């Protein structure tokens, strides 16, 4: 059953129920119907910008998009790239693409022009649909990428090198196109994070999308009464697959365009959100705002907020314990996944297992897990090895990259994640670190996540990243880049004293006070940190300070 059938079902059974809300606290409130109105709206209008669509409108919009694309020759096997910020049109466009039988190809909104061009060529995209934030980047490469490729613009004042998307789709039928889809048909190409160079294209099927949707609903028990607050970017599998739980349960979702603590809590309060997926930095910002007294929970309606869950990166247990002090009756969950497994859910903690906070969980619905040694043989319980997962949503391959595919997909169907993990006596998996991030210092393996979790418990610390720096004697040493909470002070001596609670070999040998960069999905950008603070970068920065 293709996932597009769920949208059709919702539109038939609950046509007038709200499906999606776009909420932008930085724009004034107005009920807008055209892009021209968006441009001309008066700043004096009260309250934040808010717009919504029902399941019937969602379904009809996606049908018009599908029929327009098909009229331009797009069909099974073609690829349509999406380069948009989160907005009310994002998901109808995605589903419109799927309804043609073509593959949806979401692009990271942080891509530079050369990365956009690279990904379009790698995925062999026939169409690029982009928004106003990307005009400059697309214009730089428009002459090259428009050869044999359609360029569509979603927004006001269409640039001359593209065609207006919204006005064209309005002229096409709102009836479902007659395209037969099966679970084995290719549905989407997602891209890896690209933290080790240009990203790889990850091919998935309709069956994989459907399993991700069912697993999400099984894990978090969404019903028609829930409202999901979606903040992360929809191009990423994490946000999309969590929203799929709303699709399965026919429940409302709110796309919040903003991450500030007051924005999040106000959206929860005013939209009566029951489920919120946060990234670690956003959760920490909320805690900091409550701790400092800048925000008070008494100003918001949060009683209905039943579940907060976090994914995309290791979660400090100390932060969750602190969160429960403010939200003692709230359920907590975490999910582990990667784009190659269609996002979160292949490992799942479960709301009933909060006593195991710190673990990423057990095998998710329909999944199997193993911890393997370098020869891909299972290790003894409690030993560290590479986490491997197998299930219905494992990627087909890295598109047009058989060598990379062979490195991570075993003949037994297991996907080798590149993450180092261990399993406790109760069967729960704990993420230790990325294989490539392990620090080998004096012959000892240091796992940065373990050190980061420890330092996170130090009161002045807002965020921390541990990386390896070259050392003549030990090969590498652990360096901690520490971001301090607003209103706090901290010295290197205080950090070192706190770290006396770690075994000597795990203590950071260098402390650096600086911001910790994270990508849009919340992962620490460690390659960037190694570039900045590696041997050459660190010397350059120290010279700048001295000058």
pLDDT tens readout for residues 440-484: 786 677 878 889 888 988 999 999 999 988 887 677 899 999 999
pTM value is 0.82
Where does CATH 3.30.300.30 sit in the chain? Answer: 444-546
How do 362-363 and 475-484 pair as beta strands? unpaired
pLDDT value for 542? 47
- DSSP designation for 363: E
Tokens of 526: 């460690």
**C-beta neighbour count of 196 within 10 angstroms:** 11
Query: Per-residue pLDDT tens for 502-519?
Result: 888 889 999 999 999 887
What counts of helices (H) and strands (E) characterise the chain?
Answer: 17, 26
For 332, the enclosing helix (H) or strand (E) is strand 331-338
Report the top-level CATH class of 52-211: alpha beta
Q: Please state, in angstroms and rounded to a whole number, the distance separating the CA atoms of residues 527 and 534.
A: 10
pLDDT value for 46? 41
CA dihedral 115, 116, 117, 123 (to 10 degrees): 100
Tokens of 69: 């694309």
φ/ψ (deg, to 5) at 138: -70, -35
Q: Please state, in angstroms and rounded to a whole number, the distance separating the CA atoms of residues 60 and 62.
A: 5
Q: Please state, in angstroms and rounded to a whole number, the distance separating the CA atoms of residues 286 and 294.
A: 10
Give yes or no for residue 38 having a pLDDT over 50.
no
Reported confidence tier of residue 197, pLDDT bands at 50, 70, 90: low
Q: Please state, in angstroms and rounded to a whole number, the distance separating the CA atoms of residues 408 and 57.
A: 41
pLDDT value for 541? 45
Where does CATH 3.40.50.980 sit in the chain? Answer: 52-211
Q: What CATH superfamily classification does 444-546 receive?
A: ANL, C-terminal domain (3.30.300.30)
pLDDT value for 190? 95
pLDDT value for 547? 38
């Amino acid at each position: 059953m293709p996932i597009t059938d769920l949208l059709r079902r919702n539109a038939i059974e609950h046509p007038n129920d709200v499906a999606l809300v776009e909420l932008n606290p930085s724009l004034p409130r107005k009920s807008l119907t055209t892009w021209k109105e968006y441009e001309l709206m008066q700043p004096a209008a009260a309250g934040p910008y808010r717009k919504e669509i029902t399941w019937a409108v969602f379904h009809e919009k996606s049908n018009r998009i599908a029929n327009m694309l098909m009229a331009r020759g797009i069909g099974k096997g073609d690829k349509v790239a999406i380069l948009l910020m989160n907005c009310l049109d994002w998901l109808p466009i995605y589903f419109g693409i799927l309804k043609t039988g073509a593959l949806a190809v979401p692009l990271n909104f942080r891509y530079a022009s050369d990365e956009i061009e690279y990904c379009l060529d790698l995925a062999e995209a026939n169409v690029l649909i982009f928004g106003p934030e990307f005009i400059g980047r697309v214009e730089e490469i428009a002459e090259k990428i428009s050869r044999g490729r359609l360029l569509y613009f979603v927004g006001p004042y269409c640039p001359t090198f593209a065609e207006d998307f919204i006005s064209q789709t309005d002229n096409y039928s709102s009836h479902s196109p007659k395209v037969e889809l099966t679970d084995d048909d290719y549905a989407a190409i997602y891209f890896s994070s690209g933290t080790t160079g240009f990203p790889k294209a990850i091919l998935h099927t309709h069956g994989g999308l459907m399993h991700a949707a069912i697993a999400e609903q099984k894990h978090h028990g969404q019903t028609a009464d829930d409202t999901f607050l979606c903040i992360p970017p929809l191009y990423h599998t994490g946000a999309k697959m969590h929203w799929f739980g709303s699709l399965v349960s026919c429940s409302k979702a709110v796309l919040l365009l903003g991450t500030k603590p007051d924005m999040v809590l106000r959206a929860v309060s005013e939209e009566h959100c029951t489920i919120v997926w946060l990234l670690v930095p956003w959760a920490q910002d909320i805690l900091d705002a409550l701790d400092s007294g800048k925000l008070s929970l008494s100003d918001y309606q949060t009683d209905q907020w039943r579940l907060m869950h976090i994914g995309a990166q290791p979660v400090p247990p100390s932060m969750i314990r602190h969160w429960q002090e403010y939200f003692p009756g709230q359920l907590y969950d975490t999910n582990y996944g990667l784009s190659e497994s269609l996002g979160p859910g292949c490992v799942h903690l479960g709301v009933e297992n909060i006593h195991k906070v710190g673990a990423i969980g057990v095998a998710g619905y329909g999944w199997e897990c193993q911890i393997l040694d370098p020869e891909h043989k299972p290790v003894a319980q409690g030993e560290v090895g590479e986490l491997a997962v197998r299930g219905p949503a494992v990627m087909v391959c890295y598109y047009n990259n058989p060598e990379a595919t062979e490195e991570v997909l075993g003949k037994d169907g297991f996907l080798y994640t590149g993450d180092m993990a261990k399993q406790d006596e109760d069967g729960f998996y704990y993420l230790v670190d990325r294989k490539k991030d392990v620090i080998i210092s004096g012959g000892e393996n240091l796992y940065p996540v373990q050190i980061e979790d420890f330092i996170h418990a130090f009161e002045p610390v807002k965020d921390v990243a541990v990386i390896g720096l070259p050392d003549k004697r030990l090969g590498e040493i652990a360096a901690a880049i520490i971001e301090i909470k607003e209103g706090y002070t901290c010295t290197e001596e205080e950090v070192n004293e706190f770290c006396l609670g770690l075994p000597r070999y795990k203590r950071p040998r260098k402390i650096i006070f600086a911001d910790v960069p994270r990508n849009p999905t919340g992962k620490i950008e460690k390659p960037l940190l190694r570039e900045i603070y590696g041997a050459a970068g660190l010397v350059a920065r120290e010279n700048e300070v001295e000058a």
